[in-house]
């Protein structure tokens, strides 16, 4: 398909005069010439090809004519504003200036009110200031007692990592805790006291004997036996070395005595006694 735009444009440029009538006559000659040329082509073009060539020519004619009209149109003069166009209109009002004046007046009024209030309520002398300070005594609120320490000492299940088998009793004398190793990195923790009889206790032991005691005075008992039962509490778990043992004490009678070995309150030692079989491992860290 031929590009007809430059051909038509060159032909239009040679017209003198270049008027609308002359251009349209040129376009008609171009259409006739194209038809004659397409009919004489050998081999003969199909109807579709002929139609496409004629459409290309018409598009080129339309484009060249549009450009010619645009070049022939006279330039539009720029509008000239009349400096006296708005001389009969009233001047615009500056509303923002009024708002600024109103805001300034409001701020000044607030400052004056604040100054008057300060002057009215301000003490007149240093003696008055001291009297006001002495009258306004602030009560001291006592801080609440820390109950966390009491909760920590309760028997409870805690997170505990150990290489000891489940059921092992681990006595940590430094932290004053006794742990019974449980599955899933946990342990049942007891609070303990360490008596003078077990200051040197350390190593691996086993529970070889268990004994239930009354934990208090009974009529008909000798004083030495009675004192020993009070010292050892409600239950005793004996270890396989001399007189080392885990025993209880009566918390209602006050803090535990310095005597004894590994000591738990009676409630804890009874629970430990009921859940600890013989030959259970006991590991004591010094």
* Domain end among 32, 53, 72: 72
| 237 occurs within a structural domain | yes
Which domain, by its residues, includes 43?
A: 5-72
The rounded distance, in Å, linking the Cα atoms of 261 and 238 is 10
The rounded distance, in Å, linking the Cα atoms of 146 and 150 is 8
Main-chain dihedrals φ then ψ at residue 16, nearest 5 degrees: -150, 105
> Global pTM?
0.45
Helix, strand, coil % in the chain, rounded to nearest 5 = 45, 20, 40
Instruction: Kindly state the percentage of the chain with pLDDT values over 70.
Output: 74
Could you read off the pLDDT of 115-155 as tens digits, one per residue? 887 777 665 555 565 665 555 554 544 544 445 567 888 99
Cα–Cα distances in Å, from 10 out to 13, 36, 56, 69, 274? 5, 21, 17, 15, 118
Rounded to the nearest integer, the mean pLDDT of the chain is 80
Report the first-to-last Cα separation within the chain, whole angstroms.
106
174 shares its domain with 65: no
| 25 occurs within a structural domain | yes
Helices (H), the chain: 5-13, 20-39, 47-72, 95-121, 126-135, 148-152, 223-232, 266-274
| 88 occurs within a structural domain | no
| 144 occurs within a structural domain | no
């Amino acid at each position: 398909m031929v590009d007809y735009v430059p051909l038509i444009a060159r032909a239009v440029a040679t017209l003198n005069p270049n008027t609308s009538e002359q251009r349209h006559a040129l376009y008609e000659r171009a259409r006739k010439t194209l038809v004659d040329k397409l009919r004489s082509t050998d081999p003969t073009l199909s109807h579709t090809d002929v139609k496409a060539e004629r459409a290309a020519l018409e598009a080129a004619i339309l484009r060249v004519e549009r450009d010619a009209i645009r070049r022939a149109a006279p330039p539009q003069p720029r509008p000239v504003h009349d400096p006296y166009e708005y001389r009969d209109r009233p001047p615009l009002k500056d509303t923002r200036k009024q708002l600024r004046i109103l805001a300034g007046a409001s701020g000044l009024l607030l400052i004056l009110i604040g100054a008057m209030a300060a002057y009215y309520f301000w003490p007149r002398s240093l003696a008055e200031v001291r009297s006001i300070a002495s009258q306004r005594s602030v009560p001291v609120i006592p801080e609440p007692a820390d109950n966390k320490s009491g909760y920590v000492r309760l028997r409870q299940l805690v997170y505990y990592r150990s290489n000891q088998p489940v059921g092992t009793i681990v006595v940590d004398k430094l932290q004053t805790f006794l742990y019974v190793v449980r599955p899933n990195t946990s342990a049942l923790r007891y609070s303990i006291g360490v008596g003078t009889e077990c200051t040197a206790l350390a190593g691996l032991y086993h529970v070889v004997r268990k004994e239930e005691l009354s934990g208090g005075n009974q009529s008909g008992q000798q004083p030495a036996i009675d004192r020993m039962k009070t010292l050892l509490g409600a239950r005793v778990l004996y270890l396989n070395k001399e007189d080392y043992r885990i025993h209880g004490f009566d918390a209602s009678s006050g803090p535990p005595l310095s005597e004894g070995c590994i000591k738990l309150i009676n409630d804890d030692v009874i629970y430990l006694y009921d859940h600890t079989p013989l030959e259970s491992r006991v590991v004591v860290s010094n």
